[in-house]
Amino acid sequence: MKKTFFVVLFFILIAFAFSCKKEAGEGGNCSISGKVFVKDYNGTFTVLQEEYYGPGIWVYIIYGDDKDYSDRIETSYDGTYEFKYLRPGKYHVYAFSKDSTLQTNALVPVIRDIEIKKRSTDDVESDLVIFN
């Protein structure tokens, strides 16, 4: 009877271990990187004054279905950012930009939805383009 109990318990634990999937977030071998490209316009967005890769811009990441940002990093001198040690899953990466439609004076997020499907993946994204 004891032996049967332990065999059943063993299979239940094995089934539980294989059915658990880790959520998106820290603790893996993956990374997401990219650059923030800034288009600097005049106040009415009619004249492009300058374009450059933006240093010192905050880039945010949301893990999975979280409601608030999970981590943030400041771009380096050449506008690059990198979020390291991520697990496979869905992520939202964003930076804030002026509203080019002039409908609001508030900053608006420029969001990139990313899914990492494999372990040990380095995902290099196209530029996040923001307006200044």
Model confidence over 93-129: pLDDT tens digits? 999 999 988 888 899 999 999 999 987 778 889 999 9
**Across 60-86, average pLDDT:** 96
Tokens for 90, please give them. 């869905």
Question: Which residues, 6 or more positions from 85, have their beta carbon under 8 angstroms from its beta carbon?
Answer: 26, 27, 28, 29, 30, 31
Burial 107-132 (b: 16+ CB within 10 A, else e): ebebebebebeeeeeebeeeebebbe
Q: Are strands 26-41 and 128-131 parallel, antiparallel or unpaired?
A: parallel
Which range has the worst mean pLDDT, 21-25, 48-52, 74-78, 101-105? 21-25
Q: Which two tokens stand for residue 76?
A: 């380096």
Mean pLDDT of the chain: 86
Helix (H) or strand (E) holding 104: none
Residue 21 pLDDT: 53
Enter the tokens of residue 21: 């999937």
Residue 3: pLDDT band by 50, 70, 90 thresholds? low
Q: pTM of the prediction? A: 0.80
Domain ranges within the chain, ordered by starting residue: 23-131
Task: State the pLDDT at residue 73.
Answer: 98
25 DSSP assignment: S
Share of the chain above pLDDT 90, in %: 66
- CATH superfamily placement of domain 23-131: Immunoglobulins (2.60.40.10)
Strands 80-86, 58-63: pairing kind: unpaired
**pLDDT band with cut points at 50, 70 and 90 for residue 4:** low
- The larger pLDDT score, comparing residue 14 to residue 100, is at 100
